[in-house]
């Protein structure tokens, strides 16, 4: 036998759910679950219990749409899940009933509008980033070490200061200092492979002689 199950929600303990209970009782609900929680919260135990309770053929009824979903996408996702399970949905105030053809049409229109809104936000975001790049601006967080601080970090490291001391002095994190020093590390000078080969062949005592030969050749 199909059942009409109601769900009500009030944001705080001071608010009274009597208005919702009266509307749900008038709609034929014999069992009503009530949450006292903000609509933006994910952990609503009575909503979870309601969704567990309803079976195929039942109808979940709310006083108003915003009592069920914390956002339009969440509302549509919840009603779509009910539809997949064969559970109807009805909102008393908006007079939406997914057990009727007209109600299903309105619900699918809501879904199309939500998807359209997501696409608009996505396109506007990418257009804004592209325009910013054309003007030389880049997205993301601004660098913590720029200008004088960056120069000071490089100079302090060259003077033998460790990254912890540099970070404490400049008021930034050690990770920031490490990133800066890694990015601005001085290139390693190329190795004189000819001299190294001569030293390896003649032994380490011949290194001064190699240096003297090189000096004589240059004179």
- Max distance between CA atoms of the chain, in angstroms, equals 109
What order of strands is seen across the sheet that includes strand 59-62?
31-36, 4-10, 59-62, 88-91, 96-97
Three-state SS for 62? strand
Run of H or E residues at 209:
helix 207-218
Catalytic residue among 11, 38, 173, 214: 11
Query: Is 11 noted as a catalytic residue in this protein?
Result: yes
* Residue whose token pair is 């399970």: 85
Rounded to 5 degrees, φ, ψ at 21 are -60, -40
What does the chain come to in residues? 219
In this structure, are residues 118 and 126 in contact, taking their beta carbons and an 8 Å threshold? no
Write out the catalytic residue numbers.
11
């Amino acid at each position: 036998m199909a059942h009409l199950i109601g769900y009500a929600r009030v944001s705080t303990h001071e608010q009274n759910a009597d208005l919702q209970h009266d509307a749900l009782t008038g709609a034929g609900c014999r069992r009503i679950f009530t949450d006292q929680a903000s609509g933006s919260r994910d952990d609503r135990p009575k909503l979870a219990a309601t969704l567990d309770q309803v079976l195929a053929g039942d109808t979940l009824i709310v006083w108003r749409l915003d009592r069920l979903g914390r956002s339009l996408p969440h509302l549509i996702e919840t009603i779509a899940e009910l539809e997949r399970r064969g559970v109807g949905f009805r909102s008393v105030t908006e007079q939406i009933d997914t057990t009727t053809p007209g109600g299903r049409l309105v619900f699918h229109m809501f879904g199309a509008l939500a998807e359209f809104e997501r696409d608009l936000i996505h396109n506007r975001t990418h257009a804004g980033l592209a325009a910013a790049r054309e003007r030389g601006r880049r997205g993301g967080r601004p660098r913590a070490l720029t200008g004088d601080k960056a120069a000071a970090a490089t100079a302090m490291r060259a003077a033998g200061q460790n990254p912890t001391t540099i970070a404490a002095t400049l008021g930034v994190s050690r990770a920031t200092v490490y990133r800066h020093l890694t990015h601005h590390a001085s290139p390693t000078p190329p190795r004189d492979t000819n001299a190294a080969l001569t030293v390896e062949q003649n032994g380490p005592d011949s290194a001064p002689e190699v240096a003297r030969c090189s000096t004589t050749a240059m004179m």
